[in-house]
Structure 1
Amino acid sequence: MKTTKFFTAAIIVSGLTFTACGSDKKENAEAMDSTETEMYQSDLEANNQTEAENPTAVIMTRQYAMNDGTQINYDLNEEGVTGFEAWEPFNTLSYEMREIEKVNFVATNERINNWNGTIMSLDKTIPSWLKTEEVMEDVADIQKEYKELIAEKNASEKERKENLEELSEQFDDLREELTETIDEYIKVHQEAIEEYNEEAKKGKMDAAREEYNEEIKKQNKIADYKEKK
């Protein structure tokens, strides 16, 4: 966005130079072209440097339409999923896990004590389409690690940091599993489209629709978690 602003401003100013006359017009235009290029290049390099220094800070939003018409909105960076439109506790914890890396030990402990409601509601608020056995197992592991972390209030600073690292690792495992789950939905959809196109090329449209509908049913088996009664 910053690059766009600089580039647009340079074009507007450059346009004003065409009102000059004779050699002044040419010199002004050449000078402005040079300034425009330098401004654009400098800003572009600054943005690229920021992304290179901290690529995880670049978060993209993706949308995906499920077979039943449900729209899925999720955020991700180069390490995987960072948030879901319909899963606020996960979004909160994702933000907190990034932020604790920036604060001191005392401030970190204060924040951790406020996570109870967020972490303990992960399993109750997760969207049904994400409920795979692996994802729910990772959620349970996070809740277990958090309980142990809170229970050891009198532990040394070193022990607390180690326990926090274990919680962070569990959260990374959850993010990885969520990313794989989304990829599985997309993979099934792509394969269904390929099956459809293969029959459609032969002019067999009814067969194409049947192939697509049969293949897309595999999405229904991805969320395989069985609620414990």
Structure 2
Amino acid sequence: MKTINLVIGAALLATFANCKNEESKEAQVEEQQKVKTVDSTAAEKARYADAALTPAKPVMPENYEIDWEGVEADEELKMDFDNWVAYRTFSESLSKLELKEVPEEEITDYITQLEEESTSLENTIPERLLTEEVMEDIKDIREEVADLRRVTEQPGVDESKIGNQVEELVEAYQDLNEELKETMTKKGSTLLDDNQ
């Protein structure tokens, strides 16, 4: 009988110990899940905080005009540039597109407008600003507008592809701005050198 009592007692102790271990394991699992939840939430919050602080792409100036600070351009050439209405019109249209101020249902008509404005850029450029490099940059802009049309006409196109193409167009525009600044600086210094 003593042996049976000892076996039953040992079995009860083992069962009690197993239950205790199971409760301990469950508590550990719950604690680990809580820690993981807290860690993933912290990581998500940090990621969103970083995203809010660092823009995904470079931000263009609000007016999309050339920044003349530090540029010594010939005043007559700058006046020609300032009177180039087609440039300002295209700049404003590109600004609205890049800043997503164009409703999605109007994008096709807007691209037609950009095509017309880029053609006007090419046809109305002041003669004294007309260089091979400037013309090449305008050609690049026209090609990027055509690519934007092709991308938007694809059935079921992903919005990110449209965004990427808009970025390409903005980069071509920025290249034109840089070339215009260089052209006005080079020609300005050449004119000064010729007068001396």
Q: TM-score, normalised by structure 2?
A: 0.54
Distance 1:63 1:184 in 2: 9
Provide the residue aligned with 2:79 in structure 1. Answer: 73
1:178 aligns with 2:180: yes
Q: How big is each residue's C-alpha offset from its partner over 1:193-222, in whole Å with a ceiling of 9 and x where there is no partner?
A: 5xxxxxxxxxxxxxxxxxx3xxxxxxxxxx
Whole-angstrom CA distance in 1 between matches of 2:171 and 2:189: 27
Which residue pairs with 1:159 in the alignment? 161
Provide the rounded CA distance (Å) in 1 between the counterparts of 2:172 and 2:105. Answer: 21
Equivalent in the alignment of 2:93: 96
Amino acid at match of 1:118: E
Question: Contact 2:74–2:189 (CA<8 Å) still a contact in 1?
Answer: no
What residue ranges of structure 2 are gaps of 5+ in the alignment?
Answer: 1-58
The answer to whether the aligner puts 1:120 opposite 2:119 as a matched pair is yes
Distance change >3 Å, CA 112–CA 63, structure 1 → 2:
same
Q: Deviations over 1:47-94 (max 9, x none)?
A: xxxxxxx9945878988237xxxxx516xxxxxxxx630x22211111
Residue equivalent to 2:142 = 143
Distance 2:103 2:170 in 1: 15
Out of 98, 104, 107, which is 1:106 matched to?
104
Determine which structure has the larger strand proportion and give its number: 1
Q: How far did residue 136 of structure 1 move?
A: 0.6
2:94 maps to a residue whose letter is: M
* Structure with more helix by fraction: 2
**Which whole-Å CA distance do the structure 1 matches of 2:166 and 2:60 have between them?**
23
TM-score, normalising length from structure 1? 0.47
Deviations 1:85-124 (A, max 9, x none): 0x22211111122233152662782533422211122221
Q: Which has the higher contact order (CA 8 A, sep 6+)?
A: 2
CA–CA separation in structure 2 for the residues paired with 1:55 and 1:145: 18
Residues 5-39 of structure 1 show CA distances to partners (whole Å, capped at 9, x for unaligned) of xxxxxxxxxxxxxxxxxxxxxxxxxxxxxxxxxxx
How many percent of aligned residue pairs carry the same amino acid? Answer: 27
- SS of the residue corresponding to residue 103 of structure 1 reads coil
Aligned to 2:22: none
Deviations 1:111-146 (A, max 9, x none): 334222111222211111111111111111111111
Aligned to 2:192: 190
Flag the 1:135–1:63 CA change in 2: closer, same or farther, 3 A: closer
Q: What is the rounded CA distance, in whole Å, between the counterparts of 1:192 and 1:163 in structure 2?
A: 43
2:137–2:175 contact (8 Å) kept in structure 1: yes
Within 2, Cα distance between the matches of 1:73 and 1:176?
17
Larger Rg: 2
